[in-house]
Amino acid sequence: MAAHLIIGVSGQDGAYLAADLLADGQEVFGTSRTQDYASLPNLVRLGIEQAVRVSRCDAHDGSTIGGLVERHDIRRVYLLAGQSSVGLSFTKPVETHQGIVNPALQILELIRTRFPHTRLLYAGSGEVFDAADGMPFTERSKHSPKSPYAAAKSAAMCLVDTYRSAYGVFAGSAILFNHESPLRPSSFVIPKIISAAARMAHGSTETLQLGNVEVFRDWGWAPDYVKAMRRIIEHTHPDDFVIASGESHSIREVIEHVGRYFGFDLSARCRTSTELLRPFDSPVVTADPSKAKSVLGWHASVRFADLIRRLCEAYAGGAPAGTIA
């Protein structure tokens, strides 16, 4: 049985991936900037904080990560850590680049020089593409990043491809499009909308401030997507795969669905804030995950309406926040 190391185990994807691996009886190690359980709420919410062997370690710390891989004979590494907000990257471009690109290079070099039998799954992003270059996006679509976050992800994904092609490293990228869950931080738009609606339903008189609600995105269910990561890293050869639902829906549609769930006109309580408008925002994003379906046998099992319902139930108390089903 191969031991698994999740770099960034405390995030949404890291926690669900750990839970999925543990459910299959796998040995799971994780890194986080802290070992304090109070700072690992996602693991606690999923009830796996005692089962994951967490080490305090920054994603840049190649020495500590190399020691973990060697000491525990780790053969599967998932690199999920890094700044994950497109909006924040515009205000912190240097930190975003360093936090995304440097860890990828560190881990790839560790595998190349010391652990040639270890496989890497890199969490890429559909943000690297630009709608102006044509859709739906596939693995062959040209990278045309329009944010510091997208530029950093593009650079890291290119490093994965370089190490795979030039050095024979088993490294693949999951090109992830938007994926949500009750573990998603409220700084992201869907949990922001739903948490505000839940407060309004309980009497809050607040107004919800949003950016451009006319943009269309491909939204999916995070527990689905970590299963795709596992299939990529266990595939017979390393490759990149678009992981998406294949459907696009607007933020305005999210508002309408959430309003119907809570029983009031949520759109009447929303306002556009110029401060939340991004310097660049693709109006429509559509992805084509057909390669993942044909090669890996993976497809998104939760569609848009069901996704919004599950999230609303979690915020309204109708389902456990950490549910994976």
For the chain, list the domains and their CATH numbers: 3-179+219-243 (3.40.50.720), 185-217+248-285+302-316 (3.90.25.10)
Whether residue 88 has pLDDT greater than 50: yes
Let me know: does 157 contact 164? Beta carbons within 8 Å: no
Is residue 301 within 8 A of residue 227, CB to CB? The reply is no
Does residue 181 have an active-site annotation?
no
d(CA 252, CA 319): 25
Q: Are 156 and 104 in contact (CB under 8 A)?
A: yes
Share of the chain above pLDDT 70, in %: 95
pLDDT tens, residue by residue, 227-271: 999 999 999 999 999 999 999 999 999 999 999 999 999 999 999
The predicted pLDDT at position 60 comes to: 85
Annotated catalytic residue, options 16, 32, 84, 127 = 127
**Is the pLDDT reported for residue 83 higher than 70?**
yes
H or E element at residue 31: strand 28-32
Residue 49: pLDDT band with limits 50, 70, 90 = very high
Confidence grade of residue 89 (pLDDT, cut at 50, 70, 90): very high
pLDDT at 34 over 80: no
pTM of the model: 0.93
* pLDDT tens readout for residues 104-155: 999 999 999 999 999 999 999 999 998 777 779 999 999 999 999 999 999 9
pLDDT score at 228: 98
pLDDT in tens, 297-325: 999 999 999 999 999 999 887 443 444 33
pLDDT of 169-200, one tens digit each? 999 999 999 999 999 988 899 999 999 999 99
Element (H, E) at 305: helix 304-316
Average pLDDT across the chain, whole number: 92
Catalytic status, residue 10: no
Q: How does DSSP classify residue 177? A: -
Q: Is the pLDDT of residue 35 over 70?
A: no
Q: Mean per-residue pLDDT for 70-96?
A: 93
Q: How confident is the model at residue 288 (pLDDT cuts 50, 70, 90)?
A: very high
Catalytically annotated residue among 89, 125, 141, 181: 125
SS3 content of the chain, % helix, strand, coil (to 5): 45, 15, 40
Residue 125 appears among annotated catalytic residues: yes
Among candidate residues 16, 78, 122, 149, the one labeled active-site is 149
